[in-house]
Chains A and B, each alone.
Chain A
Amino acid sequence: MKVETHKIARLHAILWGIFSLGGMIAAFLLPVLIYMTAIAYPFSLWPFSGSRDPSFLVTGHLLGALFIFVTIAGSLYHGIFRFQSALTEVGLLKYRRALEAVGYFIIFVGIIVLAYYLVTWYLNGTIT
């Protein structure tokens, strides 16, 4: 039983570690991505006042694809993890297991789909 408890504690520590990393990513990288895609591009502001558009962020070069993956995957993990945790604090504690299951499912599917698109574009030469 003690070994099992230690394993669970270690898993929790890893998950919270990834959560913290996601928090740093969401804090430092997500604002600039939202600015570029939701303000600069629709309103033709710097840096998209010229001929370039946000698709260049994704496929312009490998660093851009890595930026997109790290920012979106990290933010998704952090956002879902924190939100499902917040739900348990407003009266849904008894549904904790179900909330965790749904949360991790969304995170898993989201990250796999994102990675699939980026790897496919890298392999077929769309990402240069």
Chain B
Amino acid sequence: MEDNERYPELRRRLSPGWWTANRHYTMYMVREWTSLFVALYSLIFIYGLSLWAMDSRADFLNFLKNPAIVGFSLIALVFTMYHAATWFYLLGAIAPVRIGRSRTKPWQALVLNLILLVIISYLAIWLLALR
């Protein structure tokens, strides 16, 4: 069965530049492309571990201090935070919580989850690096 028969919505072909049509589409596409940095950071970290596994721990640590890796990681952190913020906002839009007669707003989910992010980050540092 062709995809177009199985998924009729696929018949609506979009031009490659459709996401430049307005600001919302552009922000959506920027958000999607932040995932490239999430994936690349993960692959780079695995590569760093392979240096450790095949050579020595010092190679792994030197790799983490490499200016190119530090520079890329800083950009990745900015995009990861953007990913996190848009993900939290999306959660609030998709799954609002009903409290009494009202429903929570997306920005409330964003704020709550950002606070949770800070708490989880501190706990992770305390549990994994300080204990």
Contacts and interface: CB of A to CB of B under 8 A. Distances in A.
Interface of A: 1, 5, 23-24, 26-39, 41-42, 47-48, 52-58, 60-61, 63-64, 67, 72-73, 75-76, 78-83, 85-86, 89-91, 93, 96, 106, 110, 113-114, 117, 120-121
B82 to A, nearest CB: 10
Given A55-B61, A117-B50, A78 B35 contact: yes
Chain B contact residues: helix, strand, loop or mixed: helix
A92 to B, nearest CB: 8
Contacts of A75: 38-39, 41-42
A79 B65 contact: no
B128 A39 contact: no
Interface in B87-131: 87-88, 113, 116-117, 120-121, 124-125, 127-130
A72 B72 CA distance: 16
Contacts of B10: 93
Given A31-B121, A34-B77, A37-B64, A114 B84 contact: no
Given A32-B125, A85-B32, A38 B73 contact: yes
